[in-house]
Amino acid sequence: MVSNPVHGLPFLPGTSFKDSTKTSFHRSQTLGYRNGYAIVRRPTVGIGGDRLQVNQLSQAELDELANKAPVLTYGQPKQAPPAEFIPAHVAFDKKTFLESQGIELNPAEKMVLDPYTELRKQPVRKYITPSDFDQLKQFLTFDKQVLRFYATWDDTDSMFGECRNYIIHYYLMDDTVEVREVHERNNGRDPFPLLMNRQRMPKVLVENSKNFPRCVLEISDQEVLEWYTAKDFIVGKPLTILGRTFFIYDCDPFTRQYYKEKFGIPDLPHIDMSKQEPPPIKQELPPYNGFGLFEDSAQNCFVLIPKAPKTNVLKMLLNDNKVLRYLAALESPIPEDKDRRFVFSYFLATDMISIFEPPVRNSGIIGGKYLGRTKVVKPNSTADNPVYYDPSDFYIGAVIEVFGHRFVILDTDEYVLKYMESNAAQYTPEALSSIQNHIRRQEAPAPNVENKQTEEDRMQEMEALIDKIQKQLKDHPCKDNIREAFQVYDKEASGFVDREMFFKICESLNFPIDDSLVQELIRICTHGEDKIDYYNFVRAFSN
């Protein structure tokens, strides 16, 4: 439908419009390029944008053409290529033709294979890369789980070497090892404990890497045949790390439980590696010079400033002013010393002894203090270990040797007897009985004047006889220990021996004097009918 012409315009071409809403009236573009070539296209749209119906088929026409003219759909059929040209000398060069012509042929030979063709015939190879160890699973499973071992490195064979303690950490998450040193207080070393950083430790290297300088070798999987694992750390066995041999002696409870569950090792041993204290060095004291007491002289060797030796204060308080007194005679070959008597005073508070000699008129000996208060060493003791006389060594008939002088205990008082009876555990039964018998004899009734005179005459006769025997012994000294021979049979230490036993002992001894003198001495020493006083008998043969 043609719209009315605009008012005032003539009815000319271009002034009438079919649709007043159209605004585009340019011509369609027909010139263009395809694949780099300039081509001309037929216009499909006219002026104003209306579609042109010229040279275009409808859908019904297209369907009809598709059914009646397939060439329009599939195009012109292509002509088959001509057969390949085969020359006559090839087309007719056949085994059958040749045999028909009477030509005999050799049997067919195996054709040489073409390597390339055969390679093409092989199936395509599928390269399957084996999967590596799942390190992520190991990391997630064993994260923060560490095996702790306690080890020691003994380097005492080298100069200035010592035995050091270390802690070896094995991290299960990545199989790395770390070594830390255990520092002791005031050991003179830097407090940095790390001996080896955390890293994997090779156990077995390839042969070439062993000869290659380690200082420039970068350890990788190509140079290592085997790495250290958790099963290589066993308590009680040595382990070599970086050239150092560590001895593992213990581990923590988590490590014990891990080895029990993983490797089936129920109980890992615990080895005691504590340092044994060296035995104390015995201090050697210089030889005793004989001045003063041994304890006082030894204090100069213990400390720089000498101090008084420690005393038993309780003993001093309990035994203060307690003194045991004994009467003793001096054993000496000098005739003037036979009548000398000495008083021994034993001080229980300090175990010291003092000796006093009562002065005798017209004896030629001044008397008085013979030995000041001091400790007396027994003759069989050594200077390094002195043994002093104690109260149990004093009894009737005992021989006390004081600095080379021998004294025989002859008498004591009742105070000594009371002390011995109250402290009987300190004395032997023989020593106690000797004191008791001696005190009883003193308490016996006194004999008459006639008996006293007879006893004095007997003692004078005995002293004269002893002088004769001593003169003969100067030329032929007696070598036998007569006193010990009699003391063996005097169990009670009474100073008397049975008459029959006395003669048996005399027969076993060799007296280098006349038999008449021995018989006379036995007669004088006879006490009663069956007893003989061997104390006075032994005095005659003492040097």
| pLDDT tens for each residue of 486-523 | 777 777 767 777 777 777 777 777 666 666 667 777 77
Residues 474-483 have a mean pLDDT of: 63
Mark out the alpha helices in 263-321 (DSSP H runs): 294-302, 313-318
Mark out the alpha helices in 24-78 (DSSP H runs): 59-68, 70-74
| Distance (Å, whole) CA 483 – CA 493 | 12
Could you give phi then psi for residue 202, rounded to 5 degrees?
Answer: -75, 140
pLDDT at residue 213 tops 70: no
User: 407, 328 in Cβ contact below 8 A?
Assistant: yes
Beta-carbon-side half-sphere exposure of residue 435 (alpha carbons within 13 Å): 26
Q: What tens digit of pLDDT does each residue of 267-316 get?
A: 888 888 887 888 888 878 888 777 777 788 888 888 888 888 888 888 88
Lowest mean pLDDT, pick from 191-195, 236-240, 536-540: 536-540
Which pLDDT does position 326 carry in this prediction?
92
Four-residue CA torsion sign, 395, 398, 402, 405: positive
Cα–Cα distance list, 351 to 263, 376, 377, 381, 446 (Å): 72, 9, 11, 16, 36
259, exposed or middle or buried, with CB in 10 Å at 0-12, 13-18, 19+?
Answer: buried
Q: How confident is the model at residue 88 (pLDDT cuts 50, 70, 90)?
A: confident
Which pLDDT does position 21 carry in this prediction?
76
Element (H, E) at 174: none
Element (H, E) at 99: helix 95-100
Which pLDDT does position 166 carry in this prediction?
93
Q: What letter represents residue 335's amino acid?
A: P
Q: In terms of pLDDT, which residue wins out, 61 or 342? A: 342
167, exposed or middle or buried, with CB in 10 Å at 0-12, 13-18, 19+?
Answer: middle
User: 269, 235 in Cβ contact below 8 A?
Assistant: yes
User: 404, 331 in Cβ contact below 8 A?
Assistant: no
Which pLDDT does position 529 carry in this prediction?
62
Other beta carbons less than 10 A from residue 294's beta carbon: 19
Pairing of strands 224-227, 496-498: unpaired
Delineate the domains of the chain, giving CATH numbers in brackets.
Answer: 22-54 (no CATH), 135-262 (2.30.29.170), 305-440 (2.30.29.170), 445-543 (1.10.238)
Tokens of 274: 């504590």
pLDDT at residue 388 tops 60: yes
| Distance (Å, whole) CA 164 – CA 180 | 11
State the residue for tokens 């002195």.
386
The answer to whether the predicted template modeling score (pTM) of the entire model surpasses 0.85 is: no
What angle is formed at CA 326 by the lines to CA 324 and CA 331, rounded to 5 degrees? 145
In DSSP terms, which residues pair with 532 in a beta bridge?
497, 526
Which pLDDT does position 543 carry in this prediction?
56
pLDDT at residue 334 tops 50: yes
pLDDT at residue 464 tops 80: no
Q: How confident is the model at residue 225 (pLDDT cuts 50, 70, 90)?
A: confident
Could you give phi then psi for residue 118, rounded to 5 degrees?
Answer: -65, -40
Count of positions (residues) in the chain: 543
Cα–Cα distance list, 525 to 229, 451, 532 (Å): 99, 16, 6
Q: How confident is the model at residue 449 (pLDDT cuts 50, 70, 90)?
A: very low
